[in-house]
């Protein structure tokens, strides 16, 4: 992020798996955070929607203008479907995290499995970096 910024390059990060709960890309200095609201946020997988977020007012204005020129929009019913599920997002995310870790540990103990890639497992590549976040 620092290298990109020093060269005037904007940075964007797909934060879908972080769901806006487990990870804050802005703490790394990222300019844009994107996420598919189709997954965790909607909860039911019955809507196709995403979000683009920034903390920079000037960048927000540029993104908004581009959005208006392209003509993208969100139907009221789609917005309602996502809003309906937001109150339970933290509970659902915690449950999925718990189950994911349990399954990863179970699979890691299986003799017929060579390697399990899950950042919470100490043997998984990238575990140290994941732990710092």
User: pLDDT digit of tens for each residue in the chain (133 aa)?
Assistant: 999 999 999 999 999 988 888 889 999 999 999 999 988 889 888 899 999 999 999 999 999 999 999 988 899 999 999 999 999 999 999 999 999 999 999 999 999 999 999 999 999 998 998 888 7
How far is it, in rounded angstroms, from Cα 112 to Cα 99?
Answer: 21
Please give the pLDDT value at position 17: 87
Two structure tokens written together for 29:
């200095």
Q: Which domains does the chain have, with CATH numbers?
A: 2-132 (3.40.640.10)
Please give the pLDDT value at position 39: 83
Half-sphere exposure of 38 (CA within 13 A, CB side): 6
Strand order in the sheet with 32-36: 12-14, 32-36, 50-53
Please give the pLDDT value at position 25: 94
Q: What is the pTM (predicted TM-score) of this model?
A: 0.81
Please give the pLDDT value at position 88: 94
Please give the pLDDT value at position 73: 86
34, 33, 70: which is closest to 50 by C-alpha?
34
């Amino acid at each position: 992020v620092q290298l990109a910024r020093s060269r005037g390059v904007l940075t964007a990060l797909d934060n879908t798996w972080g769901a806006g709960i487990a990870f804050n890309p802005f703490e790394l200095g990222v300019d844009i955070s994107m996420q598919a609201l189709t997954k965790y946020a909607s909860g039911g997988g019955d809507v196709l929607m995403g979000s683009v977020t920034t903390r920079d007012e000037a960048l927000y204005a540029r993104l908004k203008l581009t959005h208006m020129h392209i003509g993208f929009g969100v139907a009221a019913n789609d917005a309602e479907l996502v809003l309906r599920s937001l109150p339970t997002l933290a509970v659902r995310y915690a449950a999925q995290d718990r189950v994911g870790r349990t399954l990863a540990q179970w699979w890691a103990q299986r003799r017929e499995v060579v390697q399990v890639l899950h950042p919470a497992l100490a043997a998984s590549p990238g575990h140290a970096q994941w732990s710092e976040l």
